[in-house]
């Protein structure tokens, strides 16, 4: 499938699917030296605390609500109190966890977002290269909320997770799901393709393959229901050239209803993973 960078440059990219594992990847892949240029916009909300347009305001409002849900998920699946958030952006989730007594560390490659997290919330947030300096087996929980799809070297990052987690630790990885109804409805205009910032594109099969390759087991798969609405709002803008809130809400509702009554193919999914040999809950 050929599609455009509707968010920023309008450049063309192509999606290719691996026949062996089902993983979809973006080509051409920008060089590491140029990749950061595709994030260079005040409208890139995950690196900003600003409320700009309607979509940005919706995103930031929902983000505040989802922090509490994420925190509850972490507590449900892990008894430990140390957490590493890889791709923590401006640090709001880590600040939420810190205020509730957790020992928190963040990794964030974007210097502006990282400096905001440090200056605003006084968090321990490190540059991406510093992940290599973190002590092995030092954290109970690792979270990556819509981050893994941005990582150029998936295998290296999964090895980082395996090394840094305690033996009974848990990782939570949230990813867009291209098997969802909204993905199929919007096709090349689906905002969660987000090329070339999203270098890889997952569904259940391809993520399981990656997890098992690195000696992890998926112990649960959970929905992110708000994503269907937010992604649909952006997708409407990309498809029509302007926002259509009503249609976005209708598509988001259809996507969630089809997932709820079908096979659970929500717009985004949270994969809960543990190292093999430490599984206590059922495998999904």
Per residue in 4-59, pLDDT (tens digit) is 999 999 999 999 999 999 999 999 999 988 998 998 876 664 545 555 565 666 66
Per-residue pLDDT, 281: 44
Write down the H helix ranges in the chain. Answer: 32-35, 54-77, 92-98, 111-121, 154-164, 181-186, 204-213, 226-240, 245-261
Rounded Cα–Cα distance for residues 39 and 43 (Å): 9
pTM, two decimals, is 0.91
Q: What are phi and psi of 73, to 5 degrees?
A: -65, -45
Average pLDDT over residues 159-179: 97
Torsion over CA of 204, 47, 143 and 26, rounded to 10 degrees?
30
- Residue 280 pLDDT greater than 80, yes or no: no
Rounded Cα–Cα distance for residues 264 and 257 (Å): 9
Helices 226-240/245-261 angle, 10° precision: 130
Higher pLDDT, 284 or 149: 149
Render pLDDT for 70-79 as a digit per residue (tens, 0 to 9). 999 999 998 8
**CB atoms near residue 219 (< 10 Å):** 18
CA separation, residue 225 to residues 29, 40, 118, 259, 270 (Å): 30, 28, 30, 10, 11
Percentage above 70 pLDDT, the chain: 89
- Residue 278 pLDDT greater than 70, yes or no: no
3-state secondary structure of 273: strand
What does the mean pLDDT of the chain come to? Answer: 91
Per-residue pLDDT, 91: 96
The token pair that represents 282 in the structure block:
């059922």
Instruction: Please report which confidence band the pLDDT of residue 243 belongs to, taking 50, 70 and 90 as the band edges.
Output: confident
Q: What are phi and psi of 149, to 5 degrees?
A: -65, -15
Render pLDDT for 171-220 as a digit per residue (tens, 0 to 9). 999 999 999 999 999 999 999 999 999 999 999 999 999 999 999 999 99
* Domains with residue ranges and CATH for the chain: 2-226+269-275 (3.40.50.150)
């Amino acid at each position: 499938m050929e599609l455009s960078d509707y968010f920023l440059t309008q450049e063309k990219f192509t999606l290719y699917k691996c026949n062996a594992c089902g993983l979809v990847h973006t080509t051409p892949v920008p060089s590491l030296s140029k990749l950061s240029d595709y994030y260079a916009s005040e409208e890139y909300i995950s690196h900003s605390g600003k409320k700009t347009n309607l979509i940005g305001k919706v995103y930031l409002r929902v983000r505040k609500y989802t922090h509490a849900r994420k925190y509850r998920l972490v507590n449900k699946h892990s008894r430990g109190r140390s957490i590493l958030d890889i791709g923590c952006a401006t640090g709001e989730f880590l600040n939420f966890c810190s205020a509730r007594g957790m020992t928190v560390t963040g990794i964030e490659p974007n210097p502006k977002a990282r400096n905001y997290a440090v200056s605003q919330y006084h968090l321990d947030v490190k540059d991406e290269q510093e992940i290599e300096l973190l002590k092995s087996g030092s954290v109970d929980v690792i979270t990556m909320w819509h981050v893994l799809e941005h990582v150029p070297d998936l295998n290296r990052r999964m090895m980082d997770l395996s090394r840094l987690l305690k033996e009974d630790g848990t990782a939570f990885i949230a990813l867009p799901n291209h098997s969802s109804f909204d993905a199929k409805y919007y096709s090349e205009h689906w905002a969660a393709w987000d090329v070339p910032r999203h270098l890889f594109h997952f569904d259940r099969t391809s993520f399981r393959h990656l997890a098992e390759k690195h000696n992890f087991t998926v112990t649960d798969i959970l929905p992110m229901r708000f994503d269907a609405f937010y992604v649909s709002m952006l997708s409407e803008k990309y498809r029509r050239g302007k926002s259509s809130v009503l249609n976005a809400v209708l598509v988001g509702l259809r996507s969630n209803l089809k997932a709820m009554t079908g096979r659970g193919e929500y717009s985004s999914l949270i994969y809960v993973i543990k190292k093999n040999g430490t599984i206590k809950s059922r495998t999904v």
